[in-house]
Amino acid sequence: MFLLLAGCQARQGMLRPVLESEGGLYVYLAPLPQEAARLSYRIESLSARREDGALFPLAVRLRKVNLREAGRERFLAFGALPPGRYSGLSFRVRDAFLKGEDGESALLLPEEPSWLEFPFHVSRRSGTVLSLSLLYRESLPGGVRFLPSFHAAFPGKLAVGLNAFATSRTGNTVTVFDKLTGRVAGVVPTGAAPSGMALASLRRKVYVALQGGDGVERIDILSGEVTDRLRLAPGDAPVELALTPDGRTLLSVNSGSNTVSVIDPELLVEDARIPVGNGPQSILVDRTGRRAYVFNASSDTVSVLDLPGRRVAATVPTEAEPFRGDFSRDGGLLYVAHRSSPYLSVLDTVTLRVVRRIYVGTGTIALKVDSRTGRIYLARRRTGQVEVFDPIAAMPVDFLATGDDVSYIAIDGEGNNLLLVQPAPGEIRVVGIVSRRTEARVDVGDDPYGVTLMGER
């Protein structure tokens, strides 16, 4: 019965309703200390206790805790809670084991739930993050009993330049984390199915496309709150956003209506709407801010937009299902990735002709060009790696092992790292471009879509 309930809880946690009258509590578990290498325990339940004594169960995401599973910060539990003041958390552990020379020994458990006193406040439509650290020695008095003891804290604010942001479509959140260490600093609840983002670094704003909510939300980086929302037409299903280099125009790719909305990012109002091809998936603005390229997967075309004229200047036929692209280092070429073709199309941005095809293999799901080196980073389905292509030789010259599929790639120009979105484990992996080592892994919730960051290259 317990396993059945746990499975139901996991499935419910994968598709959360949008927070309307409630607030979100997001509990993270700090990395276990090395001295806890012999310890393993399973969490049966976790609840938040309101000041009046009422208990509110949380959806536990990480049931089994040991050094292998929790050697890094992990997303432990989530709850949609009524606004108000809370006095702490209540834990119940199902079992616990301590490994010795003769194998694992079961530890004695308390009959009553363990209690962690830590006052916190939950606000409507806001996210509260708690970070828990296991107090190993206090939790193992005498070495035969397990009395789970934790230290709780609110995560500290990040320096603005360290901020990175990741969307969770089924979690309806944007996770804020340190782009170098991966430490989670905040979680911002959003409207339905947040997908692509656009970052206005100087104005300290992040714009989020709500694919399930037919709108665009604006998040203030300093406060970590949604400050405004633009409602688009019903059925627009905006999937990705882009800002012009001067930050004065925000573009929304509306996959449901085959249009691009031209938006004033300060007033957050729609100024114009441009019809494009069928099934637009993403958009890319050139360095001048005068042209944008829309990748229409269902019509096998790229729409080239004249932004000052707010019209389609040209439509370029491509191979099957173009869904994403990126510019070469000098901006003279546009590499176009296709879902149903083993080739990258190379488009001349002056003549708007396809001048080359690069064989990369089937199943491309992510593409990014490093503007510093010109190298092409490309991920394909079921390969567990990111391949690195030399643009001149048009062939792979290196690869980065990732274990799971990568659906989106961003580059941190300051840390010289790749930030890789991995939907299956629900995390962002930070990988050094030179070292090829995984520097951090960040739990960001179910079905992550995109990532953006300060200092992005």
CA distance 199 to 324: 18
193 has a pLDDT exceeding 80: yes
Amino acid code (one letter) for 349 = T
259 and 367 fall within a common domain: yes
Give Cα 406 distance to the centre of its chain: 12
2 has a pLDDT exceeding 50: no
142 and 176 fall within a common domain: no
**Of the candidates 94, 86, 84, the residue with the CA atom closest to the CA atom of residue 60:** 94
User: What pLDDT, in 10s, does the model give residues 27-41?
Assistant: 999 999 999 999 999
Domain-ending residue, one of 136, 153, 170: 153
145 and 24 fall within a common domain: yes
Q: How confident is the model at residue 143 (pLDDT cuts 50, 70, 90)?
A: confident
70 and 205 fall within a common domain: no
245 and 342 fall within a common domain: yes
35 and 176 fall within a common domain: no
57 has a pLDDT exceeding 70: yes
Give me the chain's average pLDDT, please: 95
268 and 411 fall within a common domain: yes
402 has a pLDDT exceeding 50: yes
Rounded mean pLDDT of 295-308?
98
Q: Among all chains, which residue has been given the structure tokens 């961003």? A: 410
95 strand-pairing partners = 42
Domain-ending residue, one of 122, 153, 184: 153
Domain total in the chain: 2
User: What pLDDT, in 10s, does the model give residues 194-215?
Assistant: 999 999 999 999 999 999 999 9
Rounded mean pLDDT of 246-253?
98
Which pLDDT does position 5 carry in this prediction?
30
Domain-ending residue, one of 153, 176, 209: 153
> Both tokens of residue 11?
């499935």
Give Cα 60 distance to the centre of its chain: 20
> Both tokens of residue 193?
């199915």
6 has a pLDDT exceeding 90: no
CA distance 111 to 265: 56
318 has a pLDDT exceeding 70: yes
Phi, psi of 46 (to 5 degrees): -145, 130
Helix (H/G/I), strand (E/B), else coil: 237: coil
268 and 331 fall within a common domain: yes
327 strand-pairing partners = 334
Taking CA 195 as the corner, what is the angle to CA 194 and CA 197, rounded to the nearest 5 degrees?
100
Which pLDDT does position 14 carry in this prediction?
52
60 and 119 fall within a common domain: yes
107 has a pLDDT exceeding 60: yes
Percentage of residues in the chain having pLDDT higher than 90: 95
Q: How confident is the model at residue 15 (pLDDT cuts 50, 70, 90)?
A: low
CA distance 325 to 442: 26
Rounded mean pLDDT of 419-448?
97
**For the domain that residue 306 is a member of, what is the CATH number?**
2.130.10.10
User: What pLDDT, in 10s, does the model give residues 376-390?
Assistant: 999 999 999 999 999
Rounded mean pLDDT of 327-350?
98
Rounded mean pLDDT of 212-235?
97
53 and 126 fall within a common domain: yes
CA distance 161 to 443: 21
Q: Tell me which residue range forms the domain holding 358.
A: 160-453
10 has a pLDDT exceeding 70: no
**For the domain that residue 74 is a member of, what is the CATH number?**
2.60.40.1120
208 and 357 fall within a common domain: yes
344 strand-pairing partners = 358
313 and 409 fall within a common domain: yes
Q: Among all chains, which residue has been given the structure tokens 């633009």? A: 230
**Of the candidates 225, 221, 172, 227, the residue with the CA atom closest to the CA atom of residue 194:** 172
407 has a pLDDT exceeding 70: yes
CB 195 within 8 A of CB 423: no
Taking CA 258 as the corner, what is the angle to CA 254 and CA 264, rounded to the nearest 5 degrees?
45
Which pLDDT does position 4 carry in this prediction?
30
- For the CA atoms of 352, 354, 356, 360, the dihedral, rounded to the nearest 10 degrees, stands at 110
